[in-house]
Amino acid sequence: MIIHEQEITWAQHTLILTNKKAIYWPAQKTLILSDLHLGKAAHFRRNGIPIPSQIHQRDLDVLEKLLLHYTVDKVIVVGDLIHAHQNGEVLDFKNFLQQFSEIEFILIKGNHDRIADRKILDFGVKAVCNTFHLDGIEFVHEPEKCADYQISGHIHPGVTVRLPTNKHFRLPSYVVSENMIILPAFSQFTGLDTKQSFEKSVNYAILDTGIMAIK
């Protein structure tokens, strides 16, 4: 797996956007991501929709490679770690965390995180909260306008790129403005919102081969 990076200066901090849909914050040795939706594929299969069982494992494989690639003391998940209810795929995450017990995982609860906090903590997550603050940055699940500097998720942002041939394709993206960053969904099993736009922001579209800024 090749990790491509785009370094930005934001809120007077150096952040590294990766093409694996997570941000690395070197000064804090922190990885930031959103919307894993663990257990979503199993939830769909239980309701009669044939979804491949390998999807969640591929997401965990990417997360593992990021944790091994960077020096990580802390992982901040800005919501929707778990899609609905506990199932076998969610329990795989508990086993995953046991491999990285030295890393502090913090969950900011999202609208899909309906499992009791005590169960999430039992997985090995160190803290579950509605908001989290670190070095002047507020972490929440849904974007809000009240904070000075805020990182969130929830929207699953994406952009539509048109080719000269008039063909177009949709890509996940980071949304970056002066005081706000919205993360793409980490899970590959999510939709993309390409309709919402944010004033004075830059979309960093994610490709296998790199990251492309689209203003």
pLDDT tens, position by position, 6-56: 999 999 999 999 999 999 999 999 999 999 888 654 444 454 444 556 667
Q: Tell which phi-psi region holds residue 172, choosing left (phi > 0), alpha (psi between -120 and 50) or beta.
A: beta
Residue 126 tokens read as: 């160190």
Q: Domain ranges for the chain, please list them.
A: 5-214
Q: Is the pLDDT of residue 189 over 90?
A: no
pLDDT (mean) for 177-196: 87
Provide the strand spans (E) within the chain: 5-10, 13-18, 23-25, 30-33, 74-77, 104-108, 127-129, 132-134, 137-139, 150-152, 158-162, 168-177, 180-182, 201-207, 210-214
- Model-level pTM? 0.90
Q: Which two tokens stand for residue 117?
A: 């906090």
Amino acid letter at 94? Answer: K
Q: What is the pLDDT of residue 154?
A: 94
Q: Are the C-beta atoms of residues 191 and 29 closer than 8 Å to each other?
A: no
Please state, rounded to an integer, the average pLDDT across all residues of the chain.
87
46-60, 129-143, 201-215: range with lowest mean pLDDT: 46-60
Q: What's the CATH number of domain 5-214, 3.30.70, 3.40.50, 1.20.120, 3.60.21? A: 3.60.21
Tell me if 196 sits within 8 A of 160, measured CB to CB. Answer: no
Q: What is the pLDDT of residues 68-101, one digit of tens each?
A: 999 999 999 998 988 555 556 777 888 899 999 9
